[in-house]
């Protein structure tokens, strides 16, 4: 039987059309499946060749998220530079390392080599290791100054004696060396003395020889101000055939921190000159030497050096003792029975008319 199209339309005229997605959401599922298939299915061009397959939207979002956190990956990931390291943080960490550790850290990479060469790190290490009371202006880089204070010291100690060879336990010579520390000379005048008993006598008249004869002290001028390093040298030579040997001797050796970096010192044109000597021809209980900044002579720290019982030890203690303050340094060694000592005062100038850059006070047994 034939059915007219109008009858079909009429039969459906009173019925509400179900929305897409009803019927247990089968329609929506079909659409989502079809849309996903369209997105994932390869497209074909006119020649039947497949075009490049497009990644799903969800995967593209994940890739964007991963790309955003890529900078937080491990430092071992291969990258062109250490840009994720904060230099200020590593500069702060490097301050807790000693000089040897800093030298070992530098060659590990170009980035660390640049970081540890920061001058502020070596300035901090120098002031910390030498316990410098306060920093001063310098003309050289701090890493070179640090190296001169510790590395170049080996060459300096080796050339200290006329024997040119210092071996602990040698039959002819036993040399002891002790780093005392660092102090500051603010003024251009200093008091050198061999006497630490009672109050300091500051000579005001006469030349250096006359000062030494009258009070056992002298004043020197034109001293280069800044940070100075003080060391103690002990040379014991009981048997020696060398005419140039000074015998058993104690030396308080002090120098400006930049001395080793000057060309005049390196080429040997700067040398020590004897400015005065004082001979004590009788049994001497102790060998003493001290350097005071004349400007701070009345400071409490300077008077503390004169209080010998606080730092020279017990009466039977024959070990060398040293004390250092902000503006002064002193040494003291008890001696066995002797025939006297010869005290020598030497200075090194930066050229003929230059400033004094090094001072030595030595006591030699007669």
**Confidence band, pLDDT 50/70/90 cuts, at residue 229:** very high
Check pLDDT > 50 for residue 160: no
**Confidence band, pLDDT 50/70/90 cuts, at residue 3:** very low
Q: What would the mean pLDDT of 158-169 be, rounded to a whole number?
A: 40
Quick check: 200 and 349 in contact, CB under 8 A? no
State the CB neighbour count (10 A cutoff) for residue 343: 23
Q: What would the mean pLDDT of 200-207 be, rounded to a whole number?
A: 80
Check pLDDT > 80 for residue 245: no
Q: Which domains does the chain have, with CATH numbers?
A: 84-148 (1.20.1280.50), 165-365 (no CATH)
pLDDT at 19: 46
C-alpha dist (Å) from residue 71 to 80, 87, 175: 13, 16, 58
Quick check: 258 and 138 in contact, CB under 8 A? yes
Q: What would the mean pLDDT of 324-344 be, rounded to a whole number?
A: 91
pTM for this prediction: 0.68
Dist. CA 255–CA 228, nearest whole Å: 5
**Confidence band, pLDDT 50/70/90 cuts, at residue 357:** very high
Q: Which range scores top for mean pLDDT: 25-39, 65-79, 89-103, 331-345? A: 331-345
> Regarding predicted confidence, which is higher, 267 or 52?
267
Dist. CA 304–CA 329, nearest whole Å: 11
pLDDT at 26: 46
> Regarding predicted confidence, which is higher, 182 or 64?
182
Check pLDDT > 70 for residue 217: yes
Q: Which tokens in the block code for residue 63?
A: 């890739």
Check pLDDT > 70 for residue 33: no
Q: What would the mean pLDDT of 247-274 be, rounded to a whole number?
A: 90
Check pLDDT > 80 for residue 321: yes
pLDDT at 69: 42
Indicate the average pLDDT of the chain: 74
Lowest-pLDDT choice from 113-127, 168-182, 349-363? 168-182
Check pLDDT > 50 for residue 18: no
Q: Which tokens in the block code for residue 301?
A: 């720290």
């Amino acid at each position: 039987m034939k059915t007219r199209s109008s009858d079909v339309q009429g039969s459906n005229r009173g019925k509400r059309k179900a929305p897409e997605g009803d019927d247990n959401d089968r329609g929506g599922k079909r659409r989502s499946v079809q849309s996903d298939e369209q997105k994932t299915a390869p497209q074909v061009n006119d020649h039947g060749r497949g075009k490049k397959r497009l990644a799903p939207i969800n995967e593209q979002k994940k890739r964007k998220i991963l790309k955003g956190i890529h900078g937080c990956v491990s430092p071992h990931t291969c990258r062109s530079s250490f840009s994720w390291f904060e230099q200020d943080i590593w500069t702060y960490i490097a301050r807790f390392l000693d000089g040897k550790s800093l030298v070992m850290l530098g060659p590990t990479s170009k980035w660390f080599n640049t970081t540890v060469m920061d001058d502020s790190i070596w300035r901090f290490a120098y002031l910390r290791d030498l316990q410098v009371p306060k920093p001063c202006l310098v003309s050289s880089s701090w890493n070179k100054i640090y190296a001169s204070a510790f590395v170049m010291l080996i060459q300096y100690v080796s050339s200290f004696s006329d024997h040119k060879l210092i071996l602990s336990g040698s039959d002819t010579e036993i040399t002891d060396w002790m780093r005392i520390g660092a102090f500051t000379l603010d003024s251009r005048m200093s008091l050198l003395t061999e006497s630490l008993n009672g109050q300091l006598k500051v000579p005001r008249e006469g030349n250096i020889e006359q000062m030494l004869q009258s009070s056992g002290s002298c004043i020197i001028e034109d001293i280069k101000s800044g940070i100075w390093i003080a060391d103690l040298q002990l040379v014991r030579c009981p048997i020696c055939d060398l005419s140039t040997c000074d015998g058993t001797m104690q030396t308080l050796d002090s120098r400006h921190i930049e001395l080793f970096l000057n060309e005049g010192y390196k080429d040997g044109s700067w040398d020590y000159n004897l400015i005065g000597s004082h001979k004590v021809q009788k049994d001497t209980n102790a060998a003493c030497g001290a350097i005071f900044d004349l400007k701070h002579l009345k400071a409490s720290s300077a008077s503390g050096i004169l209080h010998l019982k606080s730092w020279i030890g017990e009466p039977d203690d024959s070990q060398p003792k040293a004390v250092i303050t902000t503006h002064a340094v002193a040494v003291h060694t008890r001696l066995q029975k002797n025939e006297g000592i010869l005290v020598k005062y030497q200075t090194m100038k930066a050229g003929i008319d230059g400033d004094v850059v090094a001072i030595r006070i030595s006591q030699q047994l007669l």
